[in-house]
Structure 1
Amino acid sequence: MEPRVFPIINCADILNTRSFYQRVFGAEQVYQFPDEGDPVYLSLAVGGGHIALGVGTGPAMYGATPLPATGHAVDVCVYVPDLDGVLEAAPEHGGTLAVPATDTPWGERVAYVRDPEGTMLLVIQEDPDD
Structure 2
Amino acid sequence: MIRFAYTIVYVQDVSRSLQFYQNAFGLQTCFLHPSQTYGELETGTTKLAFAAHGLAEGNLPGGYLPVDHKANKPLGIEIALMTDDVPAAVAQAVAAGASVVVHPSEKPWGQTVAYLRDPDGTLLEVCSPVQTKPQTGSTKDPSS
TM score, norm. by length of structure 1: 0.83
If asked which structure has higher relative contact order (CA below 8 Å, sep 6+), I would say: 1
| Counterpart check, 1:87 vs 2:113 | no
| 5+ residue gaps, structure 2 | 69-73, 133-144
Q: Tell me the equivalent position of 1:61.
A: 59
After superposition, the C-alpha distances for 1:39-95 in whole angstroms (9 at most, x for unaligned) are 100010124542001112561312144422244131111111221121111121111
SS in 1 for 2:66: coil
The answer on whether the counterparts of 2:101 and 2:116 sit within 8 Å (CA) in structure 1 is yes
Structure 2 Cα separation of the partners of residues 60 and 126 of structure 1: 38
Structure 1 Cα separation of the partners of residues 121 and 43 of structure 2: 19
Which amino acid is 1:53 matched to?
F
| Counterpart check, 1:109 vs 2:99 | no
Q: Tell me the equivalent position of 1:74.
A: 77
Question: How well do the aligned residues superpose, as a CA RMSD in angstroms?
Answer: 2.2
1:39 to 36, 41, 46: 36
Q: Tell me the equivalent position of 1:24.
A: 24
The answer on whether the counterparts of 2:5 and 2:45 sit within 8 Å (CA) in structure 1 is no
1:50 to 36, 47, 50: 47
SS in 1 for 2:6: coil
Identity percentage over the alignment? 25
SS in 2 for 1:117: coil
Q: Tell me the equivalent position of 1:123.
A: 126
Which stretch of the first structure deviates more once superposed, 95-104 or 77-86? 77-86
Residues 20 and 128 (structure 1), Cα distance of their counterparts in 2 relative to 1, 3 Å cut:
farther
The answer on whether the counterparts of 1:68 and 1:117 sit within 8 Å (CA) in structure 2 is no
Displacement of 1:2: 5.7
Residues 66 and 27 (structure 1), Cα distance of their counterparts in 2 relative to 1, 3 Å cut:
farther
Which stretch of the first structure deviates more once superposed, 52-61 or 110-119? 52-61
Of Structure 1 and Structure 2, which has the larger fraction of its residues in strand? 1
Displacement of 1:126: 3.0
Q: How many residues in Structure 1 have an aligned counterpart in Structure 2?
A: 126
Residues 64 and 90 (structure 1), Cα distance of their counterparts in 2 relative to 1, 3 Å cut:
farther
